[in-house]
Amino acid sequence: MIVSALAAGACLAAAVAPALAAKGRAQAQNRFDGTWSVEVITESGSCDRAYRYGVIIQNGQARYAGGGDFTITGRVQPSGGVRATISRGDAAAQVVGRLGDGTGNGTWTTSGSTVCKGRWNAERRG
């Protein structure tokens, strides 16, 4: 299901959303850089019950470890706070939460034709 995949991808990618920088300016390494495993759990709505995905953070920017066709906009604050939007077509998910030294967690909500919400948990893998 496209909305289910969006919700999962959104949560996962958003867990470690991109740090934005001015074009042409070098970005400093982010303390959250690395590989993360993110578990996404649906608590309400018709999205699939649970997912686990890999996310790679490099220079504060996140990308789905498996490639993908999601648009990710957001940021991990220096304190670890996460705010992001993940979208695909007319569906989108808003993600909020916090990353720490090796783990993180938060919540997500989709919008569009199917509305779901849930929580996510992240664990650093490398």
Q: Is the pTM of this model over 0.85?
A: no
Instruction: Name the average pLDDT for the chain.
Output: 75
pLDDT of residue 112: 78
Q: What is the CATH number of the domain that holds 38?
A: 2.40.128.120
Q: What's the pLDDT tens digit per position in 20-47?
A: 333 333 455 778 888 888 888 999 999 8
Residue type, 104: G
Q: How many CB atoms lie within 10 A of CB 36?
A: 26
Closest-CA residue to 72 (of 26, 119, 11): 11
H or E stretch covering 3: helix 2-14
Using the predicted structure, report yes or no on whether residue 13 has a pLDDT greater than 60.
no
Q: Which of 75-79, 81-85, 114-118 has the highest mean pLDDT?
A: 114-118
Give how many domains the chain has, as a whole number. 1
Domain holding 91, by residue range, is 2-124
Taking residues 7-12, report their average pLDDT: 47
Contacts of 14 (CB under 8 A, 6+ apart): 62, 72, 74, 82, 84, 85, 86, 93, 95, 108, 120
Q: Is the pLDDT of residue 17 over 70?
A: no
